[in-house]
Structure 1
Amino acid sequence: MVNWKKIFIFVGIPLLSFYIFLIVIFYAFIAGLFLIVLLLGFSCLRFSKKKIWAGLSKLSIAMILFLLLMISNPVYWPRQIVRHIDTSRVVQPNDPLVQGLNNTLAMWDYLNSTYGVNESVFYSLDNDSRLQLMTDYIIEDVIEYYYIPEVYGVIDYVSSAHEAIEKGRGDCHSRTIVMVSFFIYMGYNAYCCEAPFHWYTVVYFGPGRTDPHYYYRLNWTDPEIIFNHEEVFYPMNIFQRLGDIVFGLPFYDKIMELFSSRIVQILLAPILVGVGFLMTLGIKSTAWKSKKHYLKNAIFCSLILILGFLVAFGLSVFVPQITLLTMLITVAVAAQAVHSNLGARLSLSHEGTK
């Protein structure tokens, strides 16, 4: 017989501790997403003496599998952990490649050929105009836009300024990191801003952090975290950040963008059925031993998932902010239904009435 208590103590606790450590050190949006997945996992547990240790052990493994989904190459993990702890490994104003952007073969050639602005004209402009020209230069000539999986082969990855310039490709993360590094090198008080689904730059023209000017701010969402190579600060507390993720319209927009795809619409029901069967297999309720009862629970779990997602999309027309929350509740309800053997019980109840 499997001793789940020992497995949790020697395997589960270290895995969960590592996962929680990542929540603490990672940037706001990803950390919030990791926390939401962990809370969802806890909501799927059955808190009984017989099942709690097995459930916690499986939860710890599931969290690491989710981490593998986000950063599928474990070779990147040490590098990413260090960069999230020490932001000077990310924002690098003193890096030779960053400083090399300001030479006659790079920025000045681009500005002169694109805008007719040479070095003397550039320095005669006001600060806001200079920063906008430098922003255009980095976006158009230095970092070509590519999604992170196309560049690094993983869903989430924070590059250093050196790495981004060296590759010449990256998403808004890479562009913002290079911008801030270059702006600081050019003498400005610049910071990276992380908002849901977008990073952009803020430069403070006044003393301290006053008179902010934003660059590359495409979706106009408020920043959850602001940092450069010397300091990190959080404009939002943890509850505001979680609310921004769960109820925020940018998250809803991304969900609807994903599910508006014809391929996703066609595959959604089969995918949810597959998830239902995997959830039933993973939870593995012991009240019923036969394959028939497992199949009934799996089908019932799949139906809950499909109906719940349909309700989420229906409600999204009227209250889009609750789309994600409805999906999360659906997964938790489906898990509890499997724990309770609800599918098999309803089937037996129906058979008993015949």
Structure 2
Amino acid sequence: MSNHIPETTAVPVRRNRRPVLLVIGILLVVLVIAAGTLVAMNNLAAQQRKEGLSLLKEDRMNALSEARDKIQPAVNAYLAAYKKARNAPASRDEAARNSQKEKDDVQQATESARAALDNLKATHGSSDDTVGVALQQLVESHDGYFGYMEGLVNSYPQFEGLFREDDAAGCNGLFVGSKAASLRERQTLLAKAATPCRKAAEELKQSNNTAYQEFARIFDAKVAELEVHAEATAKGEESYAEFVRLKDDFVKKADDAEARNAPAEEVQKIADDAKALNAKIRYNRSDFDFAAKRYLAGVKEMPSLVEEVFTKGVADDIKHFSTVIPLREQVLKGVVDVELTE
């Protein structure tokens, strides 16, 4: 009997491959569905983006434009109402009360415009694409315009009251020419008026309105120049009075020398001193004339300087906003149109 154990041949077992194929099939179906969903979502996002851009270009921009256009008429109404109240006449507080309705209208118009601007920004959250950049530029222009108009209203009582007799600024006291008995008295009165006046100008420099700021800066410098020239003319007048006294002394010395038949050296000394005095008188006269001309020029320039705040400064600034804002609106609409056609 053999102890050899014969080898057993392994018979391959045929496995069922249907579950594997079924799993693969399910995965393919899921991937196809996911891809379809992704495409659908992308299409939906693109559609929503286009709808948002269309809303931004049409409804929201039109609403902003309409709200913005109501601000300037409201501001003009307030300025007219306040000035009319002060001309009544009325104090600053009374004028503020009598023009409160118009000021509230300005605030309401500005708030409505800011709300329209916020709605416009909300339709496009991104600031990285071309639409976002153009939108941000438009927002900045509107923010500048709103702040400018608010400053124009809020600081108007300070500006309007500068030359009012009953106002704390007291700048009308700068022009005291005929009220003063001498140039020194004029200089003293001017210096007294200049202190609160320049303080008022310093406060006006803090306005949110650039036209007021620029005026206050120039006005402050003009008042300082008036003070300098007033001091120079006062000093010149006093020096001239002293020169007249010295001249009389020289006349007496010359008469005395002639009566005594004084030596030639003494007569020559009197003549040389008189010549030096004449030189000082001419120099003083030159300084006096320059200071007087500059003083009178400063006084004459003041009404124009005040008037040009609105006829030139504010008018030019409003023109700037009226040019820049529509231009940036066109740019935004242009980039939106490009996005919509892609």
Query: Which interval holds the TM-score relative to the shorter structure?
Result: under 0.3
Larger Rg: 2
Choose between structure 1 and 2 for higher RCO, CA contacts under 8 A separated by at least 6 residues: 2
Q: What is the TM-score of this pair, normalised by structure 2?
A: 0.26
Q: What is the TM-score of this pair, normalised by structure 1?
A: 0.26
From the two aligned structures, give the one with the greater helix fraction: 2
